[in-house]
Amino acid sequence: MSDQPTSPLPSSSPALAAADGEAKGRLGVLIGTKVTLSIDAMGGDSGPAAVVAGISRSAAKNANLNFIVHGDEAELTKLLKKRKNLKNRVEIRATTGVVTMGEKPSMAMRRTDTSMRSAIDAVRDGEAQAVVSCGNTGALMATSMIRLRKLEGVNRPAIACLWPSRNAGGFNVMLDVGADIRADQQDLLQYAMMGASYARNGLGLERPRVGLLNVGTEEHKGRAELKVAHEMIEKAAGIGSYEYVGFVEGGDIPSDKVDVIVTDGFTGNVALKTGEGTAKFVGDSLKTAFKATPLSRIAALLALTSLRRLQKRIDPRRVNGGVFLGLKGAVVKSHGSADATGVSAAIKLAYELAATGFTDRLAARVASAAASTQTDDQP
């Protein structure tokens, strides 16, 4: 079963903005597809300066991008005046409120004056095709669920991230990495379905390999809900058009054994932060080692090309951006500490998801899977 909806994409889909037969770029994006992104400029640790710098980088690389930027009007106007390439490509939506990193999601979702809510509402109202925010993850998910609503058949939305791997495409998909610390067997099955759909559309894999993260690969290991989920995900492989490889361990996350790693948000978030910390540690250690002696500096010069290639491969900024799966709208969560490079990476991901009509395809997949599961459950 393809993730392409059985009916054509709605006329509002940006994927129809380009002419039929036009050349395709990464993720199957039709070259020339116009997309407007809604950006929460106030949520990150580095403030709107880093966000505007990231927007400027993205705009310089992609002439088909326009932006609605939400936040403090005076500050944003000042920052945008310094970026000549953003002239006539950015609309400012003035807001007075900011969701802080320590704010409780239950409180943040009730506020109507924040840049986060304004950014989400622009997608809800059809003014933009995707939202990008560096803000409070819990608040972003809670507000998105209230304003955009969940897809039919989805119990718990999940955050999916791209993880550098040994696979030919260079990445694996892992979910959930922090939307909800809890996940029962039915949730894990839905994550497998959504993750496979993301890998199919985002990585171009016709039949993604799905694995369930556990403390071992043996079937008798793990919590009770993992054992039940193991059976459910294996049984639904035909419906989801994926290959189930069974339980996988932490060491398999960057391997070429699997394309989609399914886990609960607590475990996924710990793994994500551990991986990012390890990558930074390795990078910093290499820099220190090559500066230690004159001879090591000469060795660094000789290995410069290889070192730059390694640095790029393990740089967490270039895969910055977690995708909220299971919502009626595309939402990309950037790291709160993201710099211009990280923000630009999140914007690129949001553009690609919007330009390929990914949300429409995921909705069709979830609906088909839900209907098939209900049919199978009937006597």
In this predicted structure, which of 53-62, 99-108, 283-292, 349-358 has the lowest mean pLDDT? 283-292
Q: Which of 160, 218, 216, 217 shows the shortest CA–CA distance to 190?
A: 160
Compute the distance between CA of residue 44 and CA of residue 298 in angstroms, rounded to an integer.
Answer: 39
Question: Does residue 178 contact residue 264 with C-beta atoms inside 8 Å?
Answer: no
Question: Does residue 115 contact residue 156 with C-beta atoms inside 8 Å?
Answer: no
Assess whether pLDDT exceeds 80 at residue 202.
Answer: no
Residue 304: what pLDDT?
63
pLDDT in tens, 10-45: 333 444 333 333 445 555 555 678 999 999 999 888
Whole-number average pLDDT of the chain: 82
Residue 278: what pLDDT?
79
**pTM of the shown model:** 0.77
Q: Which of 41, 53, 45, 134 shows the shortest CA–CA distance to 91?
A: 41
Q: Is 364 helix (H, G, I), strand (E, B) or coil?
A: helix
Assess whether pLDDT exceeds 50 at residue 6.
Answer: no
pLDDT in tens, 125-167: 999 999 999 989 889 999 999 999 998 878 888 999 888 888 8
Using 50, 70 and 90 to split pLDDT, how confident is the model at 9?
very low
Question: Does residue 38 contact residue 132 with C-beta atoms inside 8 Å?
Answer: yes
Percent of the chain with pLDDT over 90: 40
The number of CA neighbours under 13 Å toward the Cβ of 122 is 27
Extract the tokens encoding 302: 């000789």
Extract the tokens encoding 267: 């475990």
Higher-pLDDT residue of 360 and 75 is 75
The number of CA neighbours under 13 Å toward the Cβ of 306 is 6
Contacts of 141 (CB under 8 A, 6+ apart): 105, 157, 159, 179, 180, 324
Work out whether strand 330-333 and strand 209-213 pair parallel, antiparallel, or are unpaired: unpaired
Residue 207: what pLDDT?
92
Compute the distance between CA of residue 65 and CA of residue 32 in angstroms, rounded to an integer.
Answer: 10
pLDDT in tens, 247-259: 999 989 989 999 9
Residue spans of beta strands (DSSP E) within the chain: 35-40, 65-71, 90-94, 130-133, 158-164, 171-175, 209-213, 243-248, 260-262, 322-325, 330-333
Compute the distance between CA of residue 42 and CA of residue 34 in angstroms, rounded to an integer.
Answer: 25
